[in-house]
């Protein structure tokens, strides 16, 4: 095979229906775009793939490698020219990739014109809003816009969806069950064509709103972010190879995980010895056997009261999802805010972390939804804490000093999993000992860990899983 054939084969994998496969392919393409020897050939292959896409949502996937590679101007120009279905979202992603605004002269060809008042769109809107192949958040956003502006956003969305269906039909996605490990593995996320149709209709509705209803382009871009394959900055933090110490905590036999307190202490201590630092958060599978699965999660906390309810602490951290997250500095870094929480009688502890995932989560981030990562907040002793991409890693910096890392990786990965169990990825957040002490200096300088071990067991290889949870507190 010559280089162009290799490039075409690599780029074609963007069409796979599995988010992790798409994400890994995007990273591989970005690496080749950045290389002098292969950049031009891979850019041409990517441009040809983009030009052959039928839907606006599909075109966005061709732009994702540009957010990773920081491409040359000629590469951006080539891909921009090749985009067969431009949209508000593609315009916005190109602007993010280049750091400068891109201007589309007219949105006329990016929508189907106004919907007729007499069209019965009940069937289409029911499909779009029931949450089967696209998140209900799209319909909720248009409902709010419609209530605020008295403009028929929902009807226009249904009309655009009908137009796309009439043009391209309800083509199937092949036999997606091919990727399933067994009939019992009913969890997982696939990027189906129906979802692309719905997201594309969403983007075409926004283009119509800008063109006919004078919707501000900034407001349209804010809405279009929902259709991004992933939050832009997230693409610069790909899954990494498993840490060298992962096998010490993830390859245990069920017989070694009987005593939850002992297991939790051993796992926390092992990680801290291996990284020569303080564990801040982790979530991973400890035992993965046909009849037993054991998962472990731990959070660092401070100022713990004597009557601490560990289950409530876990509920508190889970409640932060979708509500709090670090700020974003374009594609450069996640920036953690400083929190003023104090351990009091109501909380019983001082929280030290917040979720990394933000308000908008694309389908490429689907696996992390099931195993959400957390990162430390800034504090008076650890100011201006940032998470930045560095040479394939994710590094915490405070006032320019490297003070820790965040890593996420695949472990015995497969595209599907038992619905009640997390996906087969893992994540871990650590700080140096010095940084961890600085983080809590204003709180008395002590960090401990609350932990939870979740165990699933069954009597045979095809039986129903029974779940049990054990929580505890590990002081330092």
Nearest to 195 by CA among 121, 241, 134: 134
Average pLDDT, the chain: 90
105 and 17 in a common domain? yes
290 and 143 in a common domain? no
Is 308 a domain residue?
Answer: yes
366 and 221 in a common domain? no
Q: Beta strand pairing status for 292-302 and 448-457? A: antiparallel
List pLDDT tens digits, range 109-162. Answer: 899 999 988 888 889 999 999 888 888 999 999 999 999 999 999 999 999 999
Confidence (pLDDT) at 169: 77
Residue 105: pLDDT band by 50, 70, 90 thresholds?
low
Confidence (pLDDT) at 101: 76
The CA distance from 96 to 330, in Å, is 8
Parent domain of 362: 246-474
The answer to whether residues 445 and 380 touch, using CB atoms and an 8 Å cutoff, is no
Is 236 a domain residue?
Answer: no
The answer to whether residues 450 and 314 touch, using CB atoms and an 8 Å cutoff, is yes
The answer to whether residues 310 and 450 touch, using CB atoms and an 8 Å cutoff, is yes
Residue 175: pLDDT band by 50, 70, 90 thresholds?
very low
Residue 1: pLDDT band by 50, 70, 90 thresholds?
confident
> Looking at the DSSP assignment, which residues form a beta bridge with residue 286?
none
Indicate the residue among 229, 260, 285 that finishes a domain. 229
Indicate the residue among 229, 257, 291 that finishes a domain. 229
Looking at the 3D structure of the chain, how many domains does it have?
Answer: 2
Give the side-chain half-sphere CA count within 13 A for 450. 23
Indicate the residue among 229, 260, 284 that finishes a domain. 229
List pLDDT tens digits, range 220-238. Answer: 999 999 999 999 999 999 9
Confidence (pLDDT) at 108: 83
365 and 225 in a common domain? no
List pLDDT tens digits, range 395-417. Answer: 999 999 999 999 999 998 888 88
The CA distance from 285 to 293, in Å, is 7
List pLDDT tens digits, range 179-216. Answer: 555 545 566 678 888 999 999 999 999 999 999 999 99
Judged against a pLDDT cut of 70, whether residue 344 lies above it is answered with no
Can you tell me which residue has the tokens 């002098």? 36
191 and 335 in a common domain? no
Q: Which segments of 364-414 does DSSP mark as H helices, in order?
A: 366-369
What is the b/e burial string over 360-381, where b = at least 16 CB atoms within 10 angstroms of the residue's CB? bbbbbbbbbebbbbbbbbbbeb
73 and 20 in a common domain? yes
The answer to whether residues 169 and 217 touch, using CB atoms and an 8 Å cutoff, is no
Is 139 a domain residue?
Answer: yes
Residue 341: pLDDT band by 50, 70, 90 thresholds?
low
User: Checking phi first, is residue 76 left (phi over 0); if not, alpha (psi -120 to 50) or beta?
Assistant: alpha
Q: What is the DSSP string of 172-230?
A: ----GGGG-S-TT--EE----HHHHHHHHHHHHHHHHHHHHS---HHHHHHHHGGGSSS
User: Checking phi first, is residue 377 left (phi over 0); if not, alpha (psi -120 to 50) or beta?
Assistant: beta
Calculate mean pLDDT across residues 86-105.
86
166 and 72 in a common domain? yes
Residue 102: pLDDT band by 50, 70, 90 thresholds?
low
Residue 345: pLDDT band by 50, 70, 90 thresholds?
very low
Is 235 a domain residue?
Answer: no
The CA distance from 85 to 341, in Å, is 47
Is 278 a domain residue?
Answer: yes
- What stretch of H or E contains 68? helix 56-69
Judged against a pLDDT cut of 50, whether residue 43 lies above it is answered with yes
Q: What percent of the chain has pLDDT over 70?
A: 93
The CA distance from 360 to 145, in Å, is 17
The answer to whether residues 50 and 84 touch, using CB atoms and an 8 Å cutoff, is yes
Confidence (pLDDT) at 185: 56
Q: What is the DSSP string of 105-158?
A: S--GGGS--PPPTT---HHHHHHHHS-SSS-HHHHHHHHHHHHHH---HHHHHH
Backbone angles phi, psi at 16, to 5 degrees: -65, 145
177 and 300 in a common domain? no
435, 441, 443, 449: CA torsion to nearest 10: 30
Judged against a pLDDT cut of 80, whether residue 176 lies above it is answered with no
Judged against a pLDDT cut of 60, whether residue 278 lies above it is answered with yes
**Of the candidate ranges 115-119, 249-253, 367-371, 385-389, the one whose mean pLDDT is the lowest:** 115-119
Nearest to 48 by CA among 78, 92, 17: 78
- What stretch of H or E contains 273? helix 260-275
The answer to whether residues 329 and 363 touch, using CB atoms and an 8 Å cutoff, is no
31 and 114 in a common domain? yes
309 and 175 in a common domain? no
The CA distance from 137 to 131, in Å, is 9
User: What residues contact residue 242 under an 8 Å CB cut-off, 6+ apart?
Assistant: 250, 409, 410, 411, 426
Q: In Å, how far from its chain's centre is CA 299?
A: 20
Query: Quick one: DSSP state of residue 394?
Result: E
- What stretch of H or E contains 329? strand 327-329
Q: In Å, how far from its chain's centre is CA 452?
A: 23
């Amino acid at each position: 095979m010559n280089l162009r054939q290799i490039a075409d084969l690599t780029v074609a994998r963007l069409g796979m229906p599995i988010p992790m496969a798409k994400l890994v392919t995007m990273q591989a393409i970005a690496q080749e775009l950045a290389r002098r020897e292969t950049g031009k050939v891979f850019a041409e292959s990517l441009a040809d793939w983009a030009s052959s896409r039928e839907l606006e949502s599909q075109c966005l996937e061709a732009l994702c490698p540009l957010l990773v590679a920081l491409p040359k101007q000629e590469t951006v120009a080539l891909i921009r020219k090749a985009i067969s279905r431009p949209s508000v979202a593609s315009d916005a992603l190109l602007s993010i990739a280049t750091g400068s605004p891109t201007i589309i002269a007219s949105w006329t060809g990016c929508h189907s014109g106004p919907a007729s008042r007499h069209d019965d769109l009940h069937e289409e809107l029911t499909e779009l809003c029931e949450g089967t192949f696209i998140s209900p958040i799209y319909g909720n956003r248009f409902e709010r816009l419609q209530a605020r502006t008295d403009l028929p956003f929902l009807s226009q969305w249904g009309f655009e969806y009908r137009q796309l269906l009439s043009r391209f039909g309800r083509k199937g996605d092949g036999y997606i069950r091919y990727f399933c490990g067994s009939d019992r593995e009913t969890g997982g996320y696939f990027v189906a064509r129906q979802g692309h149709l719905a997201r594309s209709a969403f983007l075409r509705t926004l283009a119509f709103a800008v063109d006919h209803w004078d919707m501000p382009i900034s407001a349209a871009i804010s809405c279009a972010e929902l259709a991004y394959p992933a939050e832009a900055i997230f693409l610069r933090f790909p899954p990494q190879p498993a840490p060298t110490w992962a096998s010490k905590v993830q390859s245990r036999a069920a017989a070694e995980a009987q005593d939850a307190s002992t297991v939790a202490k051993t796992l926390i201590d092992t990680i801290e010895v291996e990284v020569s630092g303080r564990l801040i958060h982790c979530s991973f599978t400890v035992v993965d056997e046909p009849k037993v699965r054991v998962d472990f999660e731990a959070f660092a906390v401070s100022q713990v009261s004597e009557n601490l309810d560990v289950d409530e602490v876990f509920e508190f951290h889970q409640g932060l999802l979708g509500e709090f997250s670090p700020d974003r500095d374009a594609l450069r870094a996640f920036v953690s805010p400083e929190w003023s929480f104090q351990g009091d009688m109501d909380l019983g502890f001082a929280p030290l972390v917040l979720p990394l995932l933000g308000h908008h989560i694309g389908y490429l981030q689907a696996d992390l939804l099931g195993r959400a990562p957390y990162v430390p907040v800034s504090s008076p002793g650890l100011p201006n804490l940032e998470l930045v991409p560095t040479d394939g890693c994710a590094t915490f910096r405070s006032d320019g000093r490297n003070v820790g890392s965040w890593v996420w990786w695949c472990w015995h990965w497969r595209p599907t999993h038992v619905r009640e169990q997390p996906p087969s990825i893992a994540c871990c957040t650590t700080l140096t000992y010095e940084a961890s002490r600085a983080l809590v200096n204003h709180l008395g300088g002590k960090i401990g860990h609350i932990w939870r071990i979740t165990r699933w067991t069954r009597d045979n290889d095809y039986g129903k899983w029974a779940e049990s949870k054990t929580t505890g507190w590990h002081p330092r």
